[in-house]
Amino acid sequence: MIDTLFTIAQAGAAAAAEPVPPPVWVQNLLGWLYLIGDPAFTTKGLMGSLLTWTKIIGLFCLMSWIGARTLSAIKQRIEMPALSGIAAAGLLGGLASILLQQLQRTGRLSMPLIGGVSPAVILGIVSLIAVLVWVEAMLWISMKRDSNRGDRTLLLAMHLALGFGIFNGMLIYYFAVVPPGMTVTIVDFIAQGARMGLTYMGYAALLLLIVRLGMEMNMFNPIRTLAIAWLARKEANRRMWAPYVVLSVFLVVLAFTHWFLVPPRPAEMSRLFVGTLTLLCSLLITLMIIFLSPLSLPTDIQQQTIYTIVSKPVSRLELIWGRIVGYMTLVTMMIGLFGAISYIYLVRQVNSTIRLTNEEADRVRTDNPLRATQLDEQSEQLTARMSARVPVKGSLVFRDSRGVPQIKGIDVGQELEYRTHVEGATPSKGIWRYGVVSHPFDEVGNMAARDGGKLPGKQNYPLLDRRIPVDNFLKPGTIEFIDNQIVLLNSRKAGGESGLDSAISSLQEQRRPLANKDAELQAELKKAQAANNQPEIERIQSDLAGFHSDPFRIEMSFTIYRTTKGRVGEPVFASIKATNPRTNEQYDNTFPVREYYTDNQLIPASLLVGSDGFLNIEIQCVSSSQYLGMAESDLFILASNGSFFWNFVRGLMGVWLQALVLTSIGVFAGTFLSWPVALLTTIAFFVAGQVAFNYLQEFALSAQTGGGPFESLYRLLSHDNQMSDLTPTVAVITAKTLDSLVMPVMSRLVYVVPNFASLDVSNSVADGFAVTNTKVISNLLMAVAYALPFSVAGFFILKKREVAA
């Protein structure tokens, strides 16, 4: 509610007649404070991610600091019955409040409101205050006993931050414009202020941590770290034989791959193999890490071998990072080895499949031309997948059967809703727009306006940059390249720029001899074609190619939905119309659609001349009463074909990043847990991040059907389905109360558990699409964003722990 109010306040709320909107600078200031302060609010892009990351890390620092301080106070065992009483009352009151709220929610209990607020909520707030009082007291007690300047400063800063947060809340209340019909009290804004104060407190705690880490970094010595790394690697080799075991398993599985993985069709062969090999590599490395990293520190401590190290001037940070570096060295070596073996295996397999497919195609070409074509296409697909294609994607909008602009095509009732359809032999079409284009939601309105002869209205969404990198497609020195430059200069000239004439005329000079030679060759080609002189035709064509940029390739994969069988064996046809909106140059063609294969169209580069990266591609279905299914990524312009090898390496880098995160978690768990628990913790993190991440997300959004774990358990035992309303019996209310206690904690896990699956880019590699640099960098950042805090947390825990006692 506060969020809504705030946005309204920010927007100036012209709708509300009475209050005057605050001046712009106040709005901006409040906006910034809100953005920085609210834990759940963020902005787009890298900046937003970084901000959220800082907020979460800050809150964790705060929690850890308060937790550590409170624990140390408890350990002092100071007898203060009044304080203990307050804490106990606070906890019990909190429980009672949740129970009461559940009873109210399920209709078992109705209580009169006190001042517009439910008594259960009031009880909850009172309990919270009681607990806070206790925590405050504990902090002071611990400060009394042992504290340094940093801790004391932080305690002060935290109170100031909380106060500042509450002040912010009141500021927003003062300036907020409340729409009529909505009642808010100052309490709401104070609560919101406290929320923001919490974040500010987190920043303060984070600052202290950074200062302390910086002090530690003063003593940090890379050589010592490497020495620890060297030891960790040696230990891994010696103690577990881990690398050898993992390598043997890898080789055994590889030897039997043909037995459990028989690709049904050659076309998909590389996809299946790349996927499986990367999965195997990732599984084995993960297993290795899970069994190495969490065990090392606890066993060292248990066997007291750690004395030999901690008694030397080695920083605890070096101890942690050294281990991580050591294991990652091992991981790098293993991935390198696995990658090399996999790559050789893969290339051999794929090449032999391509060769066999081609041979079979040649063998059956005369007797079974249909099969030969099919095999040709499969081998072509396989070849295409063994590359790193860089697609240039457009923005898709539709027109339906009556020509009305639509955001989606026609739904033919297929279970998979990813693709929507255009109807054959009607105005229905899919339009891919390239250039700086309006968002599809806006574009639908714009198209409707233009159809009605009106001007497009207000744009609600930011423009999309889908420009074609024209320079990639036009080869310098070719006619198209020069033409493009001339057109661009002319348009600048038309825009009022002067002094371009000489440049234009020099370009025209350059063009003239090329054009003359081109015309000559064209004439020769016509003659040769008339004479049907094949070698001559080929020679002229290759000569001609020297004057022109290569045609560019559009790749398409549409599905077909037939309402009638049509003529037996006749494919469904599609028409493509590509228009350069700047020059109105057009390319038209009709082609048969092959379902689940890639259809290619080669388009003369001259279409891009003067386009500035703008292009419209329209796809229609020609065959009547048949439908073509399409989605935005089903059509793209192929910008380049990179090397499969480097793409494969990038795929393996995903595995490496997963290993990095997992190693940090393992080492972190080893700093304070005994080895079996540390092992289980690492496994739990991996399972949660790899398998159950989506489920955790549902948790965070409270979107899961059938309630939390306890309610689900109840449903399971009582054979109730997930949707039915439960009768509020004692058992149900107990389950729901327990859920309300557990859910907030569990839903926060989503911030701690790394999304391992998103680091995995093997799908793109398997599909033959390039893993972009942006993707690599963002994954790298994400991995570091998890690995760094875990390792630093490990450091602080290890530092506090009396290892050598």
Partner 1 sequence: MNNLFESRKIRYWIIILVLFGVMYPYRQILNNRKDKLDLGEATLGDVDTGSFMLKLALLGGARGIAANVLWTRAIELQRIQEWDRMKTTVDLITKLQPHFLAVWTYQSWNLAYNVSVEWDAPEDKYDWIKQGINFVRDGVSKNRRSPDLQWDTAWYYYHKMGFADEAIILRRLFRDDIDENFKTNPISKSVQNDNFQVSSGWFESAVELVDSGANRLNTAIESTVEYVDAPTQRKGRAGDLAFRSMPPHALTRYAISLEKESMKDVPATFGELASAEWNNALISWKKFGDYEYETPNVIPMENGELVTAKVRIADSEDYSIFNEIDKPEYWQRTINRKVSPAEAKALAENKKHWTDRWATQMNYPYWTDRCRAESTSEGVNARRLFYEGTKAYRRGDFQTTVNNFRDGLNIWKALLKNHKNYNGDELSKKDTGLIVKRYKRAYIQAGLGSELPKDTPFLENLALAETDTSVDPFDAQEVIPIAPRNTDNSGSQATPTGAGAPAAGRPAPPTTNPDGSKPVPEAKALQPVPVPK
Output the DSSP codes for 134-200. Answer: HHHHHHHHHHHHS--HHHHHHHHHHHHHHHHHHHHHHHHHHH--PPTT----HHHHHHHHHHHHHHH
Interface stretch with partner 1, choices 313-321, 431-439, 590-598, 686-694 (CB under 8 A) = 590-598
Strand arrangement of the beta sheet that strand 559-562 belongs to = 420-423, 626-630, 559-562
- Shortest approach of partner 1 to residue 331 CB, angstroms? 25
Instruction: Give the shortest CB-434-to-partner 1 separation in angstroms.
Output: 17
* Contact residue for partner 1 among 82, 148, 238, 260 (CB under 8 A): 260
Residue placing its CB nearer to partner 1 in the complex, 352 or 373: 373
Listed ranges 138-146, 252-260, 327-335, 440-448: which one lies at the site for partner 1 (CB under 8 A): 252-260
Among positions 7, 302, 373, 705, the unique one binding partner 1 when judged by CB under 8 A: 373
- CA atoms lying within 13 Å on the CB side of residue 533: 12
- Distance between CA atoms of residues 273 and 261, nearest Å: 8
Q: How far is the CB of 731 from partner 1 (least distance, A)?
A: 29
Q: Which stretch binds partner 1 (CB under 8 A): 3-11, 253-261, 466-474, 502-510?
A: 253-261
Identify the residue among 14, 24, 238, 367 touching partner 1 (CB under 8 A).
367
Contact with partner 1 (CB under 8 A) among 188, 376, 524, 543: 376
The residue from 119, 469, 604, 642 that contacts partner 1 (CB under 8 A) is 604
User: Looking at 11, 63, 261, 757, which residue binds partner 1 (CB under 8 A)?
Assistant: 261
Q: Cβ of residue 290: shortest distance to partner 1, in angstroms?
A: 19
Q: In angstroms, give the least distance from the CB of 384 to partner 1.
A: 12
Close Cβ partners of 466 (under 8 Å, ≥ 6 residues apart): 392, 393, 394, 395, 433, 434, 435, 436, 437
Round to whole Å and give the CA distance between 352 and 356: 6
Give the residue, chosen from 14, 40, 223, 416, that forms a contact with partner 1 under the rule CB under 8 A. Answer: 416
Tell me whether strands 395-399 and 405-406 are parallel, antiparallel or unpaired: antiparallel
Q: Which stretch binds partner 1 (CB under 8 A): 13-21, 133-141, 238-246, 269-277?
A: 269-277
Q: Rounded distance, CA 471 to CA 482, Å?
A: 11
629: phi then psi, degrees, rounded to nearest 5: -95, 135
Contact between 589 and partner 1 per CB under 8 A: yes
Query: Are 760 and 282 a contacting pair, CB within 8 Å?
Result: yes
Asked if residues 732 and 726 have their Cβ atoms less than 8 Å apart, the reply is yes
- Burial (0-12, 13-18, 19+ Cβ within 10 Å), 57: buried
Minimum Å gap between C-beta 371 and partner 1 is 6
- Residue from the set 153, 257, 368, 747 that interacts with partner 1 by CB under 8 A: 368
Which of 144, 348, 355, 363 touches partner 1 (CB under 8 A)? 363
Residue 395 contacts residue 778 (beta carbons within 8 Å):
no
Q: State yes or no: residue 264 binds partner 1 (CB under 8 A).
A: yes
- Residues in 605-644 that interact with partner 1 by CB under 8 A: 606-607, 620, 622
Output 224 or 429, the one with its CB closest to partner 1: 429
> Is 403 a binder of partner 1 (CB under 8 A)?
yes
Q: Which residues contact 350 (CB under 8 A, 6 or more apart)?
A: 269, 270, 273, 382, 386
CB of 699 to partner 1, least distance (A): 22
State which residue, 44 or 567, has the beta carbon closest to partner 1: 567
- Tokens 């404070």 belong to 33
Is residue 521 within the footprint of partner 1 (CB under 8 A)? no
Contact flag: residue 271 with partner 1 (CB under 8 A): yes
Query: How far apart (Å, rounded) are the C-alpha atoms in residues 124 and 381?
Result: 63
Smallest separation (angstroms) from partner 1 to the CB of 678: 26
Q: Based on the shown chain and the rule CB under 8 A, indicate whether residue 772 belongs to the binding site for partner 1.
A: no
Least Å distance between CB 695 and partner 1?
15
Nearer to partner 1, 335 or 375 (CB): 375
Show Cβ contacts of residue 476 under 8 Å, excluding neighbours closer than 6 positions: none
79 part of the interface to partner 1, by CB under 8 A: no
Please report how close the Cβ of residue 661 comes to partner 1 at its closest, in angstroms.
26
| 573 DSSP 8-state letter | E
Asked if 262 is part of the footprint of partner 1 (rule: CB under 8 A), the reply reads yes
Which CB, 596 or 695, lies closer to partner 1? 596
Q: Which is nearer to partner 1, 155 or 556 (CB)?
A: 556
According to CB under 8 A, which residues from 646 to 665 bind partner 1?
Answer: none
**Cα–Cα distance measured from residue 644 to residue 650, given in angstroms and rounded to the nearest whole number:** 10
Nearer to partner 1, 147 or 358 (CB): 358
Size of the site for partner 1 (CB under 8 A): 73
**Subset of 294-333 contacting partner 1 (CB under 8 A):** none
- Give the angle subtended at the CA of 618 by the CAs of 613 and 623, to the nearest 5°: 160
Candidate segments 14-22, 258-266, 336-344, 531-539, binder of partner 1 by CB under 8 A = 258-266
Is 239 near partner 1 (CB under 8 A)? no
Closest distance between partner 1 and the C-beta of residue 361, in Å?
11
Under the criterion CB under 8 A, does residue 281 sit at the interface with partner 1?
no
Q: Among 333, 318, 326, which Cα is nearest to 223's? A: 318
Q: How far is the CB of 567 from partner 1 (least distance, A)?
A: 7
| Residue 721 near partner 1 by CB under 8 A | no
**Considering only residues 559-588, where is the footprint of partner 1 by CB under 8 A?**
559-560, 562, 565, 567-573, 575, 579, 584-588
Q: Determine, following the binding rule CB under 8 A, whether residue 159 of this chain makes contact with partner 1.
A: no
Name the helix (H) or strand (E) containing 390. strand 388-393
* 3-state secondary structure at position 574: strand
Q: Are 433 and 385 in contact (CB under 8 A)?
A: no
Distance CA 627, CA 400 (A): 11
514 residue type, one letter: L
DSSP track, 625-679? TEEEEE-GGGEEEEEEEE-HHHHHHHHHHHHHHHHHHHHHHHHHHHTTS-HHHHH
Asked if 355 touches partner 1 (CB under 8 A), the answer is no
Strands 599-603 and 552-556, sheet pairing: antiparallel
Hey, how many other C-beta atoms are within 10 angstroms of the C-beta on 502?
8
Do residues 689 and 755 lie in contact, with contact meaning Cβ atoms separated by under 8 Å? yes
Interaction with partner 1 in 668-687: which residues (CB under 8 A)?
none
Query: Of 532-551, which residues contact partner 1 (CB under 8 A)?
Result: 551
The nearer residue to partner 1, 121 or 254, going by C-beta atoms, is 254
What is the chain's length?
Answer: 805
**Site membership for partner 1, residue 214 (CB under 8 A):** no
Distance CA 543, CA 551 (A): 15
Q: What are phi and psi of 355, to 5 degrees?
A: -65, -45
Min dist. Cβ of residue 398 to partner 1 (A): 12
- 475 part of the interface to partner 1, by CB under 8 A: no
127 contacts partner 1 (rule: CB under 8 A): no
Is residue 359 a contact point for partner 1 (CB under 8 A)?
Answer: no
Nearest distance from C-beta of residue 637 to partner 1, angstroms: 14
The DSSP code for 312 is S
Residue 457 binds to partner 1 (criterion: CB under 8 A): no
Pair 653, 776: CB distance under 8 Å: yes
| Interaction of residue 252 with partner 1, rule CB under 8 A | no
Triad 16, 22, 24: Cα angle to 5°? 120
